[in-house]
Chains A and B, each alone.
Chain A
Amino acid sequence: MMRVAWLIVRKDLTVEVRSREIAYTTLFFAVSCVLVFAFALVRDGRAPEDGAAGILWIAVMLAGNLTLGRTFERERQSETLRALLLGPAPRAAVYVGKLLGILALLIGAEVALVPLVALLFQARLLAHPLWLSAILVSGTVGFAAVGTLFAAMLVRARSRDVLLPVLLYPMTVPVIIAGVRGTAALMQPDLEVGVVQFWLALLLCFDAVFVTLALWTFEAVMTD
């Protein structure tokens, strides 16, 4: 299964390196979003308390929706998603491959977003880089796990661009809350490890539940 997943990740990244379509649009959109919030909320060099955490996660979620939509639109245009499903590999391998490709793109965007948000909002985002990485990666996995399943399900729906965020954002509210609160806890002058661990544990539980659920249901939802 992991061999096929790796093939799909490598293929997706090769296509992206050639076209740079998703990376550029996602990054442009996310940076624009952060800039708009920075102009609106930062006054005299001071940003609202914990505002940076919220802005960071809003930018990640909005950019994530764009990434999910474009990734599956690319597979739809030449019906290549159907070709993947026609192969003998378990459908779960196709899901894992697409999920990992989307994660790579989103984490790449986060690498650019974190220093930008830290700079514009004068936030201590990089004070605890390992904890921040853990919160960001686990939150992104949860968001992408649900998003990949929904985006694949909606690939043939005419109103997929509208339906994807309508379905995705309510389902991922726990990720957004845990991500924002966990990131905000990291920016406090005195780090309360217990608080960060609590939100991280919540994110990991969400990841475990939804990755399992998606692996279990992907075969059925993609067959008909």
Chain B
Amino acid sequence: MSQRANTSPDLDCDFDRVAVEDVSRHFGRRRAVSHVSFLGSSGTIVGLLGPNGAGKSTLLALLATILRASSGAIRYGAIESKDAPAALRERIGVLGHDLFLYPELTARENLVFFAGLYGNDNADGAARAALDRAGLADRADDPVSSFSRGMRQRVALERALIHGPRLLLLDEPFTGLDETSAAALIGRLRGLRDSGAIVILATHDLDLAEGLLDQAVFLRDGRRVETVSHPEGLRSTYRSIVFGASQP
């Protein structure tokens, strides 16, 4: 958690917990998220688990402050998301299903650009360090379009972490990764947890999430069905909680 951006020095928006409190989000008449509550604390990995349309991505967008809740509140420490969204975004990193990278730019150019966007005065240095962490220093000046999915994912993760966020949000981070890349990503996420970050990830990949999560929030049709701490046997728990009696 280093190299903080400095775009709002008058407002300290650091936090050690994120509380989602009775949050709902409607799109017209459709209720994407309905009265969901959970808590993510520093040094934990929280999984949002549920079938398609359960509201996982909407919840991540709400946590990223890119969407406003129709009702309820999301608190980052003592600060509510609507009070200082820009200052909070300085502390939030997002890795979406799409990787948020410019394919025409090189890995270095992408990282320098995003470091600058977060107000890092030493964007070149931050990009160099990020490339080393991703193990891509030798491919730093190749365009991202020439990278494999796993390599792009590594660059994208470093992009999301380039400003040392307190909260990392990941949407389906294991999609398209081979076993080695997925294992490397899991290792990186564990490292972030150990450094005190709050990691919230939405995934369908229960096998990979097994043993990684400190807390699993099970969602169905936009509602929180159950929250389980240190879940074990994730697939069977998922089946019994999310599908209940409707599945054999």
A86-B94, A88-B89 are known contacts. Are A7 and B113 too (CB-CB below 8 A)?
Answer: yes
Indicate if the CB atoms of B114 and A88 lie closer than 8 Å.
no
With a CB–CB cut-off of 8 A, which chain B residues contact A78? 98-103
* Chain A binding surface, main DSSP class: helix
- In Å, the complex CA distance between A80 and B101 comes to 6
Q: How many residues of B contact A (CB 8 A)?
A: 32
* A 11-33 binary contact with B (CB < 8 Å = 1; else 0): 10011001100000000000000
Distance in Å: Cβ of A100 to nearest Cβ of chain B: 16
* B 85-119 binary contact with A (CB < 8 Å = 1; else 0): 11101101010101111111100010001101111
A-B contact pairs, 30 of them (CB 8 A): A3-B116, A4-B117, A7-B113, A11-B102, A11-B109, A18-B105, A18-B143, A78-B98, A78-B99, A78-B100, A78-B101, A80-B100, A80-B102, A82-B66, A82-B98, A83-B100, A83-B159, A85-B66, A86-B89, A86-B94, A86-B100, A87-B118, A88-B7, A88-B8, A88-B89, A88-B90, A88-B118, A89-B117, A90-B86, A223-B66
A7-B116, A82-B96, A86-B94 are known contacts. Are A18 and B104 too (CB-CB below 8 A)?
Answer: yes
Q: Which A residues are within 8 Å of any B CB, using their own CB?
A: 3-4, 7, 11, 14-15, 18-19, 78-80, 82-90, 223-224
Residue B64 lies at the interface, judged by CB distance under 8 Å to chain A: yes
Residue B5 lies at the interface, judged by CB distance under 8 Å to chain A: yes
Tell me how many residue pairs across A and B have CB atoms closer than 8 Å.
73
Distance in Å: Cβ of B55 to nearest Cβ of chain A: 16
- In Å, the complex CA distance between A4 and B101 comes to 17
- In Å, the complex CA distance between A89 and B103 comes to 23
With a CB–CB cut-off of 8 A, which chain A residues contact B100? 78-80, 82-83, 86
A7-B113, A78-B102, A224-B68 are known contacts. Are A87 and B89 too (CB-CB below 8 A)?
Answer: yes
Distance in Å: Cβ of A113 to nearest Cβ of chain B: 26
With a CB–CB cut-off of 8 A, which chain A residues contact B113? 7, 11
Indicate if the CB atoms of A84 and B105 lie closer than 8 Å.
no
Indicate if the CB atoms of A14 and B118 lie closer than 8 Å.
no
Most A C-beta atoms less than 10 A away, residue of B85, B87, B99, B100: B100
Indicate if the CB atoms of A86 and B67 lie closer than 8 Å.
no
Indicate if the CB atoms of A84 and B67 lie closer than 8 Å.
no
Give the contacting residue for B114; candidates A82, A83, A224; CB below 8 A. Answer: A83
- In Å, the complex CA distance between A109 and B94 comes to 37
- In Å, the complex CA distance between A136 and B117 comes to 31
With a CB–CB cut-off of 8 A, which chain A residues contact B8? 88
A-B contacts besides A78-B103, A82-B98, A86-B66, 10 pairs, CB < 8 Å: A4-B117, A19-B104, A78-B98, A78-B100, A78-B102, A79-B98, A88-B87, A88-B90, A88-B118, A89-B86
Indicate if the CB atoms of B94 and A14 lie closer than 8 Å.
no
- In Å, the complex CA distance between A90 and B90 comes to 11
With a CB–CB cut-off of 8 A, which chain B residues contact A19? 104
- In Å, the complex CA distance between A83 and B117 comes to 10
